[in-house]
Amino acid sequence: MTTLDEILKMQLKVMMAKWLSGDDATLIPAVAVGTMPANVSATGTIDATTESVVATLPNGCASVAVQITGTWVGQLDFQGSVDGTNYQSVEASNGTASVNATASNDIFVLPGAGYTKIRVYGTLITSGAAVVTMNASIGVAASIQTGSLPAGGNWLGKVGMSAFSIPITLTVTNDVYTVGDVVGGLITLPAAVRAVGGISKIDTITLAGVSALAYQLWFFNADIATPAADNAAFTLVAADELKVLGIVPIAAGDYYAAASAFNVATVYPTSLLVKAAAASTSIYAYLKATAVTTPGTTTLYLNVKGRYLD
C-alpha cells in the first residue's frame, strides 16, 4: 500500500521534471532580480564664480565624500537639492569642524540621504582653478560629532570614568571642639558630578585621624549663608534649607585602629544622591563635631567616593 508521503514525493518529482523540461514553467514562476545601486562619482574644475560640480545621487545614498585640490583663491559652497533644481546650503564635515563652505583644499563628508543632487558651487573665485572630486556612497550614513557636547547627559557609548574618588586633607585645631563646631572649615569636593548641575551617588566616606571621634558630614550644593571656619559654630539659617543635600553620621564605633596609632572609619550612605548647583560641578560639605572632642592631631584625611549618574 502506497503511503501519503510516497504519493507526495512522486508528485513533486513529476512537477520538477515538467519544470526542468520546460513543459510547465508556471509551476515555479521566474523571479526578477534587480540591479543593486552603485556608488556614483563626479569630477570637475571650478575656475570661475557660479561654476559648480554636481553629483546625482543613487538610490540609497548615505553620504558624499568631496575632495578639493588645486591652486585657487575664493570660496566654494556645499549645497544640496531635493527636487534637482533648487539648492540650499548643506553642512559638511572635515573631521574636526562642521562648515557650509571652504576657502582651502581639504576632504569633506556631506549627508546624502534624502537629496537627489549634491553640488560644490563657486560662490567667489578670484583666481586659479579648484579641482573637485566627489563620491556618493551607498550604505549607512556616518555620524560625526565635531563640536563640544552640551552640558548634561550626552553618551556616545561610555565616555570618561563613571566613578570618582576625591581625597581631602583637612587642617584642624589640636584643641577642644564643642558640640556643633565645624571641624576643618568648608570642604569643597571638585568634579563630584560629571556635568554642571549633574547628579552623583555617594557610595563610601572614609575619615582617618588619630582619635576615633564622632562627627556628622553635611553635604550642600553651595556654601552656607554664614560660612564657618575651623573650630567655629556651625550656624544655619532659613536660606540654607534648600542647599542641604544630605547628612552622613560617622560614629565612634565606625573606626578601626591601625598599627601606626591612627583610626580609620568607612561609612556607606544608603542611596545618598547629590545634585550640584546649576552652574557648578562641585559639591560642598562641613564636618560637624557631635561631641566635645580633641582631635589629637592637626590633620584629618577625608575621602569621598561615588558614581556619576549624569
CATH classification at residue 289: 2.60.120
207 lies in the same domain as 126:
no
Q: Is 229 exposed, middle or buried (0-12, 13-18, 19+ CB in 10 A)?
A: exposed
Q: Residue 17: what pLDDT?
A: 74
- Is 186 in the same domain as 72? no
Q: Single out the residue in 76, 105, 138 at which a domain terminates.
A: 138
Same structural domain, 304 and 192 = yes
pTM score, two decimals? 0.56
Q: What is the pLDDT of residue 60?
A: 87
CATH code (residue 102): 2.60.120.260
CA distance 102 to 77: 7
At 118 the pLDDT is 96
Does 237 share its domain with 173? yes
One domain for residues 303 and 167? yes
Residues 101, 76 contacting (CB under 8 angstroms): yes
Pairing of strands 163-171, 272-275: unpaired
Same domain, 131 and 177: no
Provide φ and ψ at 20, rounded to 5°: -65, -30
DSSP-based three-state secondary structure for 21: helix
Q: How many domains would you assign to the chain?
A: 2
Domain boundary among 104, 138, 172: 138
Domain containing residue 57: 40-138
Same domain for 134 and 177? Answer: no
Q: Tell me if 10 is assigned to some domain.
A: no
8 falls within a domain:
no
At 6 the pLDDT is 77
Average pLDDT over residues 42-66: 94
Q: Which residue has the cell 567667489?
A: 124
Q: Is residue 34 part of a domain?
A: no
- In terms of Cα–Cα distance, which of 244, 297, 235 is closest to 274? 244
The C-alpha cell 564622632 sits at 214
Grid coordinates standing for 245?
A: 543635600
150: DSSP letter? P
Q: What SS3 state is found at 293? A: strand
Q: Are residues 60 and 99 in the same domain?
A: yes
**pLDDT tens-digit profile of 88-126?**
999 999 988 899 999 999 999 999 989 999 999 999 999
Beta strands in 139-198 (DSSP E): 163-171, 187-189
At 271, the pLDDT band (50, 70, 90 cuts) reads: confident
The answer to the question of residue 236 being in a domain is yes
Q: Residue 208: enclosing H or E segment and its boundaries?
A: strand 199-209
Q: Coil, strand, or helix at residue 116? A: coil
191 and 111 in one domain? no
Mean pLDDT score, 22-51: 75
Position 152 pLDDT exceeds 90: no
Give the whole-angstrom CA distance, residue 267 versus residue 249.
Answer: 8
Q: Across all residues in the chain, what is the average pLDDT?
A: 89
Given 138, 173, 207, which residue is the final one in a domain? 138
For residue 153, what pLDDT is reported? Answer: 55
Non-local (6+) Cβ contacts of 7 within 8 A are none
User: Is residue 51 domain-resident?
Assistant: yes
The reply to whether 214 and 271 lie within a common domain is yes
Q: Does 281 lie in the same domain as 172? A: yes
- Pair 70, 115 in one domain: yes
Cite the DSSP H helix spans in the chain: 4-21
Phi, psi of 238, deg, nearest 5: -60, -35
pLDDT greater than 80 at residue 158: no
Q: Count CA atoms closer than 13 A to 227's CA, side-chain side.
A: 9
How many C-beta atoms surround the C-beta of residue 271 within 10 A?
A: 8
With 0-12 / 13-18 / 19 or more C-beta atoms within 10 angstroms meaning exposed / middle / buried, residue 224 is buried
Q: What percent of the chain has pLDDT over 90?
A: 73
One-letter-per-residue 3-state SS of 47-86: CCCCCEEEEECCCCEEEEEEEEEEEEEEEEEEEEECCCCC
Q: Decide if pLDDT at 30 tops 90.
A: no
Task: Compute the C-alpha angle 60/65/66, nearest 5°.
Answer: 135
DSSP 16: H
